Amino acid sequence: MNTEKTHATNLDQQDDLKDFREEFFISNNSIYLDGNSLGLMSKRAEQAVHNVMDSWKAYAIEGWTEGEHPWFYLSENLGRMSASLIGAKPEEVIVTGSTTTNLHQLVSSFFKPKGKKTKIMADELNFPSDIYALKSQLQLHGLDPEEHLIQVKSKDQNTLETKDIIKAMTDDVALIVLPGVLYRSGQILDMETITKEAHKRGILIGFDLCHTIGSIPHHLSDWDVDFAFWCTYKHLNGGPGSVAGLYVNKQHFGNEPGLAGWFSSSKDKQFDMAHTLTPAPDASAYQIGTPHVLSAAPLLGSLELFQEAGMERVRKKSLQLTNYMMELIEAELMDYEFTIANPRDELTRGAHLFLEHQDAARICKALKADGVVPDFRTPNGIRLAPVALYNSFEDVWNSVQILKSIMKEERYKNFENKRGVIA
């Protein structure tokens, strides 16, 4: 393993995505490795917001149908721009709502308990918000979550085994909701195999793609996934609170959404003001309210960058960055009681590394004090996410050297080993 800085410099010179770094606002005083929580702002995203603001200024209410990006069709246009990121047909994708409201919409639409099929299957490592939503959906059906929510167990509290997921697909399961990538360890689930096995058993299945969209390629339509949902502020760099997205397989088109609203309507019927809904003929039907235009605007710029870069190239560099970081950690840091808890192989490793250490919280604080921005996950996890579009191999090298000096000099002991309000 070449641990010299010159090796990182050479890797950067060979990087065919290196010019995208210039598209982002990057601080000269820090190394940002938390793009899997909130991606950096791009110059195009900033300009897109200004352009939408200018449309508001110039057109007022006519902005709904006039200007470069008419607001009445903005959600659909952004859906088309997102489709290639998840391997879907353009009409199967809509940018709308937030992650959890979209999950509520999709479960309301697809969970139809009947006979003995009354259970929802999830996992015990999922992000809490998804579990909260699933429990509340069960309660709305008068079902006890303690009995009707199945959560697949993890043998090591970091990863899930496909065989355990399949084993949990009992004949009383009506719906499955799983993450595409586990938010702590970064493990990619085998979505294709899991979907195939679910359908063999007559179970509908959807995936939370918050940590996969913009970081790994997908083929949702080819895999025949029923639905999916995601946020856009992580790897997609849409900004804090940017509008989320959802996917519905075209085989489900024509059904009324579980939670109908103003923008569930077919565009040509929406202003008829009829009290009987005519649902849109595609994924647009799963919108509820008026689009959050200003919070969607940054995506016009950020999704354009992904169209230019292409997901295959993004994934290739992402793997190179995380491979390089793991090699450096193993060469430089293993004497300091770190455990690499993310999957090692490229098929199941997402876009971030997950280190475990008994002093993880204070180590994260020390890193931030020294200009490296990581992410702490309770109780003892450090997430490091070198992002393909704006992080360099030199960023990775410098981060590991800074972490090594913190451990060697025990500077982390200057901080309390307790998370902040936001970790």
State the binding site for pyridoxal 5'-phosphate.
99-100, 127-130, 208, 211, 233, 262, 290
Q: How far is Cα 305 from Cα 390, in angstroms, rounded to an integer?
A: 11
**Residues 130 and 122 sit within 8 Å (Cβ to Cβ):** yes
Residue type, 51: N
Q: How far is Cα 165 from Cα 178, in angstroms, rounded to an integer?
A: 10
Binding site as annotated, residues: 99-100, 127-130, 208, 211, 233, 262, 290
Q: What does the buried/exposed string (b/e) look like for 207-241 if buried means 16 or more CB atoms within 10 Å of the residue's CB?
A: bbbbbbbbbbebebbebebbbbbbbbbbbbbbbee
Q: How far is Cα 90 from Cα 72, in angstroms, rounded to an integer?
A: 17
The residues near 357 (Cβ < 8 Å, ≥ 6 apart) are 336, 337, 338, 339, 363, 380, 382
The residues near 358 (Cβ < 8 Å, ≥ 6 apart) are 337, 380
| Structure tokens that stand for 129 in this block | 């918000």
Q: How far is Cα 221 from Cα 216, in angstroms, rounded to an integer?
A: 15
Among 256, 265, 258, which residue's Cα sits nearest to residue 289?
Answer: 265
Q: How far is Cα 398 from Cα 310, in angstroms, rounded to an integer?
A: 27
